[in-house]
Chain A
Amino acid sequence: MSAVTVGQSSHWRRVLSPTGNTGDVVFRILMLLAALLMVGIVVAKAIALSADSMLSLRQFGFGFLTSQQWNPIKGEFGALPFVYGTVASSLIALLISVPFSLGISIFLVEQAPYYIARPVGFLVELLAAIPSVVYGLWGIFVLAPVLRQYVEPALARWLGWLPFFRGTITGIGLLTGGIILAIMVTPIISAVVRDVLAAVPGSQREAALALGATKWEMIRVVLVNGAPGIAGAVILGLGRALGETMAVTMVIGNRPEISFSLFEPSYTIASAIANEFTEATGDLYLSALVELGLILFLVTFIVNGIARLLVWNVTRNTGGVGRAA
């Protein structure tokens, strides 16, 4: 929003006007070029990734997504195990982190006094500042042993009648990947939910309380009001979980097999690229890995797009500032 009020129709004329101040024309064109570069990057990514995966696209077609065989030595490339591992680990992450994120946001926005909400909010945000590779290191040497010794045996004993909690207990597998992801997406989801809750008008709270609602009943009113934005926050977290690479690669076991047991090693799209890209021998192998990258790009672009639209609709009208990057 600039100070000069110019109608939408004259906008392009103003940006490209040859008769205006020369400095202004140069300035606006330079800024416009930077903006166009952003669009260009998205287009270039789509084109470059498609071009370099053409070999694999031609060879396997849609079967790439439905085949379970990933055997580079035999030249067989099917992405289904990676798709399964990616979706399963992300869902585990959301299952754990969504209740936590909601709890954290509710506490920070609705309950904690200012002098607690600010520092504590900062500490939660710091969780998002920890690099992925550091989570991975911590996952290998702290989380995986704890899961192997205590958590997974307990799950197998009490919930072993479910197919999810059977199999060899190693501490390295789908569950470990999901838990690490949950810790990583919690600050992202809760930051956006905080913005969304803060954007719900105070009059909603006052009305609920005035009608005799308890604190929790009032909070439920606020949650219903912010529901689309909360959905956006969750989808944003999903987008992050789908593409998270290093931490997952280090704890998920990297075996391209589909197993319903959460204890068994799995493999995600992102970790397959990270692990095998520099070792890929042969054009078809490399092309298949680039196609994995193309799939990840398209899926996360769509997922993030949907999430942004949902969050914008809630926070934009009330002037909320999107804190989470």
Chain B
Amino acid sequence: MIDRNTPPQVALIKDFTFVKAKTFDLNAPHKGFYIDATDQEIVKVELILKAGYREQKKPMQAAAVNKLLLEGTKHRSAMEIASLFEGKGAFLDTDIHADYASLVLHCLSRHLDELFPLVLEMLNDASFPEEEWLDFKQNKLNQFSIKQEKVSFLTKNAFAVNFFGKAHAYNNSLSKSDFDALSREDLLEFYEQHYVGNPITVLLSGKVKSRELDLIKQHLGGWKKPKAKNNNEGLNFNSTFQKGLELNIEKEGASQSAIRMGLPMPQKGSADFPKVFLANTLLGGFFGSRLMSNLREDKGYTYGIGSGIVNLEMAAYWFLTTEVGVEHTANSLKEIKVEMQKLNETEVEEEELQLVKSYLQGTLMRNFDGPFQAMDRFKSIHLLGLDYSYYENFVQQIKTIEAKELLAIYRQYFKFENTLKIIAGKK
């Protein structure tokens, strides 16, 4: 008979090596990085520009420009572009972020020579056809009206404006009137300023050999002379965060309420960050967290509750999100408060702390697994001006933090009474 009561003896995670991105030379000020780590004949190319929504003068401007890159150039219609990429079985996507914007190509390696120059064409010669712009606007408006019926969206959309403030560069909250205020001219202006001739960061992952690197070099070499890099001048990063603000959005007929909460946090590069990250994981960052254990696995108030930390170049914040039965709204808020207070009052037991430490190390290992994931890890440090020493320090701190230090972190950063609370549904 085998002993099923005690776990089999296994070796815990020792140090593991991070798969690191390497640099390759491009004409300055463009920058190139790559990870070669698969036998499949595939490649992912991400082109990143400092064209995030923080640069926009009007709501939705940066997102609209980014999305419409694919909808026509001076040489090709939207249909031609779609046919060229889809004909090769390739995927071309856009991505907009607070600090940057991307074009992302996934394709079989054998199609890279043909497709890469087309991607560059969109960064240089996009034409923003009137018709595509009007369709985009109408579709977004329709989607917006559907999303307005979702309690989770109502809290999400109210978050940035209440957390950062209306004039803050990171406020990306939308209202219906924003759709009329934006014109095609606004798009052209943003494109000229933040795309054409601007520095590009190229991230190449998959099977990446000298053929792929040479190809990228060759095409980016012929790029027009980049303009001076734009900086943060003229951008407003003054947060108007008010401790303890609570906002209720009544939604008639709702059977669940959405709750979203927020708190300012130290930035990723700061000394406290690894500890703050662990503190969040234990509170709400994984299935075994205090919040999941209480609100889902003990009380059954919700299908899920989670919290996380968002790292931006000029700010960082903690958020919590859940949807709970309307009859459990008040009790859910009470239990969130109970959990945060407990962590402010009592040191975490050693067993629980060890579990979270091991879980985090496993997660990091998992998140570095495969070329695309490993490149995402690089991206998340590089774009914040950090390097791999961030991860080395992170692992070191996670391994050594003690319950006493963690208590101090909760007391400094995780106070329920300080949180911004947005509740949509019925309180």
Do these two chains interact?
no
* Chain A positions near chain B (C-beta within 8 angstroms): none
Interface residues of B (CB under 8 A from A): none
